[in-house]
Structure 1
Amino acid sequence: MIWSILAFLTLLAGLFVIYPLLRKAPRVQSEEGQQANIVLFREQLSELDRQLADGEMDEQQYRELVAEQKRLLLADESDLPVMESTRSRGAWLLMAGLLLVPLLAFSLYHQLGASEDALISELMEKRLVNRDSEADAQIRQQLQQRIAGRLQNHPDNVYYLVMLARMLLEDGEFLQSSATYQRAVRIAPEDADLQAEYAQAAYFASGNRFSPEADSALERALALDPNNLTALGLKGIRAFESGDYLVAITSWQNALQAIHPSTPQAESLKAGIERAREQMGDSMPSLRVSVSLAPELTADSGQVIYVFAREWQGSPMPLAVARLQVADLPTTVVLDDSMAMPNGKLLSSADRVEVVARISSTGSVAPSAGDLEGASEALSMKKQGLAATIVIDRKL
């Protein structure tokens, strides 16, 4: 496809240049030049006639000057075809250059490997179109072979290394994928996404265990970007496997806040959080909150809802926060210590709390005019199986 586009553009550019050159050159300028020379010659001849009549020169001088003017006139006329011939030669040289330059460019294009990049790009486009078809396997194989070949000449190309590593991961070739990611992170060690993907591949390559390589890459990714989704997911898995369920819940809750709640990834995170809560049993105090919107009020389905608990008649700083959308209503959420604010107090540290559900008109957790809100009465955190029902029924 890209070759067709390049050929078309070259042809189009060539037509703009060649067309004026192939047109027969107009002779208007040459004829005008001849006429101008003749007029000038006649004026000069008239002046010589006057000077001869006035006695300003003799007959011999007159004849010599007339002969000189005739010679100059003939010389000017003979120069015109020479200029036309020079222009013709220049045109053909330009045409030859126009033909040779694209050929030379295409030759260099092949030698430098850019044509291979174009083929890889075409295969990637084909794969997007045919991802769910029978042709996908063949396209993927061709793409993988092309990328591997490109990396033989350019082993430090991070872009192709990551592409190859991801394809190997899709194929279940975890050891090869991990090794390819390792090559990439050596070249770009400050890329949080790359470190997180390497940690994931190393985890699978070790039989779904956190090897030293996976642990190291995960810690590096979190240090570079504490909110990296892949890293947070892996951190939750590692904590769950080691029995640290609170860290697992906290990690997955943080990841959940950054993605749309109706995506498959969000559903997986929610399921993981529920499993972690089941494992914890009653060891972590929690508060189950049912939230609904009063029928007389309306809000856009995409508006954000913050459900949070705060100290009763105390600090307005939330102890635990859940983020939802109006489209989720009515719904039930569970607030616990895993949903605490960074460096904030824990829900379990409070004696009595108030639960607030607020539909934000600005997207911010801070209240503003136009927000819709509902709140509970004071709730004692010392009770087991604590639950609250909130109806969002007033406008701020």
Structure 2
Amino acid sequence: MKVLVLGGGVIGVTSAWYLRQAGHEVTVVDRQAAPGLETSQANGGQVSWGAGTPWAAPGIPLKALKWMLRPHSPLVLRPRLDPAMWRWLFKMLANCTSERYTINRERMLRLSRYSHECLKALRQETGIRYDEHTTGILEIFRTARDLDDAMRDAALLQQWGVDCRLLDRNGCVAQEPALHPSQGKIIGGLHFPGDESGDCFQFTQSLAKLAQSQGVNFALDTRIERLEADGDRITRVHTDQGVLTADACVLACGSYSPLLARPLGLRLPVYPVKGYSITLPLTNAAAAPAGSVTDVTYKVVVSRLGDKLRAAGTAELAGYDLSLPPSRLATLRHVLADLFPGAGDPAQAQPWCGLRPMTPDNPPLLGPTSYKNLFLNTGHGTLGWTMACGSGKILADIISGRSPDIDLNGLGLARFS
């Protein structure tokens, strides 16, 4: 079968890889000059299948109001005359209950756990390398309230078989010795030994090269303009380089997926949530974390990627704005200096921002649509890389007429009907 994968980020590239492994003729279409140059380029670097949680959680509305009054707020809302933003926000608020949190957490965990198994198998099969660190992710807490919330979440996760370990201050320093100078600011932590970290951009580009060597075609510098349908099938994909046709299409354009779907009558509840990062060269390896640390108070991830150090965070609702105001990077610089002083050179920090495609309940949109040959692989939010391999393999199974290895209940567009 001839398949077009629309989007060349980590989701699109993993989809293409598994589709090719299933024997299909695959073309990836992307407007950038190389794979992984948008949201996959400089994210936090975590494969947090156990630690990843829904943003829509009990108490978030009140927390959000308090955050926005703080100088280093992890959440920024820029009100605008955008009906899609307000629809998304109201749907997210409806998911901020204990019942909905538990449902959404289980759905995300089901896919993330499976995806991690797929990633490990892929690494063993191909030998792919991406500055990976495979001994876990550490969450640190500065306040008793955050620690109490984590203890409740840990109890739920342990019921689902997730290995997570509560640590005191000394335990956090034992896990990440570079925290020793800042240990007085930490009251405890939660370690997820099964989680991983690494360079998502390096992974995406390396897997794209492997896919290309196996026969996947990459139509780069090609902007997708619209999808044309006849009845219940997509018949043409119009681009600025001409018209493309295929037996099936996978829509994996991240935050831009709803813009392509809307003229077809498909309303995808996906909205761009902007995130920021800075990447610094290491100047003192001993002062840097060995892997990845999440500062829960500021919602900032600090990851070591080979000879680089990256801090990433912030959730900003500002539409499709890709500006880089220095004020939004201040929180990242603050956390780096506060937790790991002297680890990197802030004068050489490379700033970046990207648009995370997020659903209001946080599980992605995966699987079929009302068009028989159009399939969704989008809306993964902050867990795009975490869920990428599993999502790609599931799409390949569906398109190949095989039953996926996990239950897909609650992971598709049908849940918003």
Q: TM-score under structure 1 normalisation?
A: 0.18
Structure ranking higher in strand proportion = 2
User: Would you tell me which structure has more helix in proportion to its own residues?
Assistant: 1
Give the TM-score, by structure 2 length: 0.18
The structure with the largest alpha-carbon Rg is: 1
